[in-house]
Structure formats: structure tokens, C-alpha cells
Amino acid sequence: MNTRKKVVVAMSGGVDSAVAAALLQRAGYDCVGVFMRLGNDPAEQAEELVACSPEKQAAAARENDAGASLPLHKPHKQGCCSTSDAADARFVAGLLGIPFYALNFQHDFGGIIDYFVREYNAGRTPNPCVRCNEYLKFGKLSRYARAVGADYVATGHYARIVHETDGASRLLRGRDPKKDQSYVLFGVPRDEIARMLLPIGDMEKPEVRRIAQEIGLPVHDKPDSQEICFVPDNDYGRLLKSKAPERLAPGEFIDASGAVLGRHEGHQHFTIGQRKGIGLAFGHPVYVTAIDAQTNRVTLGEKESLFRRRLRAREVNWILGDPAGPREALRCRAKVRYNSEPAPATAMMTDRDELTVHFDEPVLAITPGQAVVCYGADSDEVLGGGWIETAQP
């Protein structure tokens, strides 16, 4: 009887997920590689991806001299989930000798794009990567894993999972502070944390690339994706215009007093804290300090006016466990964007199931639509978080 634990590994075609699969296989897990086909490029949708047996994949690898002549990770649009990424993922699976499947998540991913457009039209700045993890990687993919009898879902995220002997599971920041991705995992339901494996969370990026090179994975030097996968060339304004052209309209730049400073092509083109690309010259730096979707007005001001000490968040997800109850203060460190450091704060649930966070010191550019994630006051553990609704002085 095969007693090995079965793992569905989300393989994006990058080096991180490739090494994650290799490490799990080395540790004795029964791995199945899965590529989530999102269908974000109509031209690429015509190219079918089919499930290959390990034997067929290995044969393809041998025919291509273990990747020496295969044009892997050729230049293409940034992001992930393109056909060339799928080819890279499938080729790595063949080298490792594990089954590989491409799952069509196009319909479900359409909901992520709709959310993206809806948030910008509402004057907020969305974070589709967090939603994708919540709804797809550890949502629909987890359900697929259960359907095929898998015990775990694994990814190449830079975060750590600790499975305690008493059955509890904890989510921690990645060991590499420059690559830590625990922020984008805060929305994963608590019961799914127990079914997660994050094999590279204890590593730094150079070590991951070194392992990939040592075991002959041709993606060892593949560049990291930098842009949102469904926004080619990072031109999200074009996407918004194609999805809801009637919502983009010229509006006014104003200052804090309401005085008109100039015109813009739609509030959706801006985010709180933005300095570049405003299109006006004042002889000194100015920043977007507020966005009013109802009036289509964008407020500009000095950097000092961007600091806030308090926020309110909705759609709260507690990983560690709910606080004792409303009005119970919880000391923590909280971060309000992916690339910021957690700052000392006090978190509290309200009677309306909303989360308020009071920072000890003012924080720059708290942005509605982004997530606030709470960590332990003196630890790297993710306690939970929510989606920022408002920020107050």
C-alpha cells in the first residue's frame, strides 16, 4: 500500500514553484504538478495544453537534451500564467518525472478581473494577487486537490507553515525579508492553512536559484514576474477602458480646500500616495491624498498630509483564531501594503465585525482597497487581517 502523502503543487513556470516541487519530491511526497490556465491572453487561448504522463514528459526532455535546445522562458509579457509559462512548468514536471495537468480556471479568473475593475471604479486600489490566492490557489485548487485525494496543496510562496503536533497550523513570514509573501496569504481560510505546504519559505532567493541549477532545472535563471498577469505592459487604464468605458470620464484635481488645480482623464488612473504620472507641474512634489469616485475628483497635497494613524477594515480573516470579542484590544504589528514593514499597532474588532487598527506612529499612504495584515507583536506569525475601507488622521 502506498502510504506517501499526496501533494498538488501549483506550478507557475517559475523557479520558485519548480524548486518547491523538487524539494517535495525529494522529501518523499507523491507530487502532482498543476498549472492554472487563466486564459488571460486571447491569442494564447487557442493553444491547447494537455495533461502529459511522466513518461511522455521525460521523453520530451530527453529529445531536447534536458532543456539545452528548448527555448524556455523566452521573452514574453511579464506576469505569470502565459502559454510559455505553462510550457516551462510542464517541462520541469517532465524532468522531475511527476504527472502534470493544466486546469482551466478561465471562468473563475474572470471574477478576479471583475473585482479589479470594480474596485478601481469605486475609488479604491485593488490587490488581485491576494484575491487570487484566496479564491483560486487555496480555494478552487484546494477543492480540486481534495477531489483527487491529495493531502496538501503546495506553492512556491516565500512564507512558512508550521504544523504543530496538536493539529494546529500557523502561518509565518518568509525567512527572506526581501521576498516575504505572507502578506498575500492572509486571506486563506484557517482550515486551508492546515493543508498548505510552502517548501521554500525557509530559503532566500539565491539559494532557491542555486538548487534549481544544481538539479538541472532550466528555469534556474528565469526572471521573476513583476506585473499583474492580466494587465499587459502594466497598462491597467487600458483594461479598465475596455471593460467599463462609460465609467472613465474627465474630472478635476483639487487641493485640500477644494480649489481646482487642473484636469485628469478619470480618477481610476490614480492611487493614494502616487507622485509620478500626475501630469501637472508645481515646482515641488505633490501626491495623491484622496480619491472621490462619486465626484470624480482627485485631491493633491504635500507628503505630510498622507500620514494616518487609524484605519477601518472589512472582510476580516483571522488565521490564529478570533480575538476574545468586540472591543478587546490586541497588540500586534501591522502592515498596510506588500512592500512595507509591519509597524506597532493595536487591533480591535467592532460590534459590526469590522477591524480597526490604531498605529503607535503615523503610517504613510494607507490606501482603501489594499489589505492590512496583523502579525504577532514580537513574532513573525500572521494573526489575520482585512481589506482597508477607510483611513483616519
130, three cell numbers: 491576494
218, three cell numbers: 532550466
Strand pairing class (382-392; 152-154)? unpaired
CA 312 to chain CA centroid, nearest Å: 21
User: What are the Cα distances from residue 124, in Å, to 120, 143, 173, 248, 367?
Assistant: 5, 30, 26, 14, 7
Give CA–CA dist 28/4, Å, rounded.
7
Query: For residue 197, which of 166, 155, 158 has the smallest C-alpha distance?
Result: 155
CA angle 365, 368, 372 (to 5 degrees): 80
Report which DSSP code applies to 352: T
Residue 128: partners with Cβ closer than 8 Å, 6 or more residues away:
112, 113, 115, 116, 228, 230
286 in Cβ contact with 304 (< 8 Å): no
368 in Cβ contact with 123 (< 8 Å): yes
**Catalytic one among 52, 81, 229, 374?**
229
12 in Cβ contact with 129 (< 8 Å): no
22 in Cβ contact with 45 (< 8 Å): no
Give CA–CA dist 294/267, Å, rounded.
10
**Catalytic one among 81, 129, 132, 374?**
132
393, three cell numbers: 488622521
Strand pairing class (297-301; 251-254)? parallel
153 in Cβ contact with 10 (< 8 Å): yes
Based on the residue annotation, tell me whether 132 is a catalytic residue of this protein.
yes
Other beta carbons less than 10 A from residue 129's beta carbon: 18
Based on the residue annotation, tell me whether 229 is a catalytic residue of this protein.
yes
User: Which of the residues are catalytic?
Assistant: 132, 229
